[in-house]
Structure 1
Amino acid sequence: MRTIMKQIQAARVESPEARSGVAAAGGEQPHRGAFGSRSVAPAEDPPVTKTKSAVPSPLPLAVSDTPIVPAVLPILDQLTAVASVVRDETLRLVWCNRAYAELSRRTVEELIGTRLEDFIPKAAADERARVALEVMQTGRVKSYYQFGADQRLLCSVFPLDESAFGHKGVLVVVQPAPPTGALDAAHADIPVIGTPCLDEFAALTPAELRVLYHLAAGKATAEIGDHLHRAAKTVEKQIESIHRKLGTKSRAELVRLASESGLQGFDEQAWEQIIEGARRIKRAGDSSVAS
């Protein structure tokens, strides 16, 4: 991954003839890559299959605030485990790589011109839009964690070179978040966006999402009950309800699913923030929008 980022850095200093815009990459058709394709909506929370491959090493964050140039895009188009999208100053999609198109189950042509709110709840779209607009205004790279398509994701937002693209905008790079133990100093203190974009987890109640979080940490039923101040029987009933909603057949399968979703990568306070974000989305009547 670091070799790839060196290529990207090198591509930022390009010849004038390389500044040919994004049209050449726009006609690519989706293909099957490392993310999988369980859900159907793209935006900045791409769907990820529940049978996840090994999490790749994260792209180094904020390698430079030097604006992104078009020559970077062909490099990103070759990455199957990193979904990338370019949005203009109005946050309309003007380019995405093949991994992003695959995740959307749409062609690149169908995605061109779409906005965040076309695919994810408005509250989630608004929160992500604020980050993108801040990057455009400050010219500084920003990264954050989010919970999208029932997986913990790492998202980095880079400013575009306005003169090279012919407009302001951002490049958004989304990848599965690495396990907490694999993080280096560059990944410390990255904020968490509180509005999730849930897929199958949208069927779970706030109480069930809390139980699922502790299952991901490998806690026993009695231990979860003690921590949440609930009777063990209550926790057992909630676990049975989670099984029905997610289609899991055993405790081991459910724990594996929760763990692979990366829940344990969030601290308990951040997970509560995400639960509250899901509650706000549901109250607004947006919960039917998958991501």
Structure 2
Amino acid sequence: MSEVPSSPTRPDPPRLPLPRRIPTAPAGRGPALPLSSQSHTAWAAALVGLADHAPVLVELTAAGSVRWWSPHDGDQADPISLVWAQRAEADVQLAGLALGRTAPDAHAGLPGVSTAAAVVATRTGDCSVTTGTGADLTNAGGRSLVVDALMLYLGLPTAAEPRTPAHLVCSVWLDRLLAATVLEPGRVTTWTAAIRHHPLSSGGTTAPELAAITQDLGAMGWDPMRLAVAAGSTDWVDLDPVGAAWMDRGAFARRLLDRYPDLDDQCRVLSAVMPTRLAHTVRHAVSASLTHRR
């Protein structure tokens, strides 16, 4: 498989393990692989039916050949690691990630249900996200980090992300505030104390000034930040340069944003542990930071 070019000063991303022979579905445990079909829905359903506890990557080529990768023995890898910072070969028409099977839980002495999930995408951009038990399947919509990774692997653009870097700044700030408030009760009771935890504050910043700075960053969009991370010139975000270079702006944004709860949820939790007046000021500052200036 070909890889996204990386900086000469950075190590190349890891290669996939060698292809393994295509498994067959155990009798009575799921459908066979639809080798004659390029239907993303059919392949997603089949991968759910075949899913083991470990994730796998499956490719279907234009010639009808199937390639199957799985982690090394005993390696419970993140499914995204199977495609991370790589591109599929040009002959791949369909690619799928079986995300592995969750072990059943026991409730009141009764065995639970083992569930699995799979994401399959085609070169035309069609995508299916399917979950279930093999016999009972559900097609899920929407976007996720796994969907983004599979699209990037096929060289396709990911969905646009309406949130801006201003949302990320606010999420980081609220996360830091919550950690400080819980770990050091009574220490964050004033605006001066709260502003120290803001990633863009230089100290003594007023709420309107803070909102204006954050708005300006939001208006710049994701590309300046993504390119800075890809060049290795900033370590403000926890993402390696090779991965940032591989991503487009939508995938990059969601990779950073989706590690935090929704902003409204963060504000509600903060209101429960912070003085009421200060919590209101913080919430107002967040709201103002996300308002587009005219």
TM-score (norm 1): 0.28
The structure where helix makes up a greater share of residues is: 1
TM-score (norm 2): 0.28
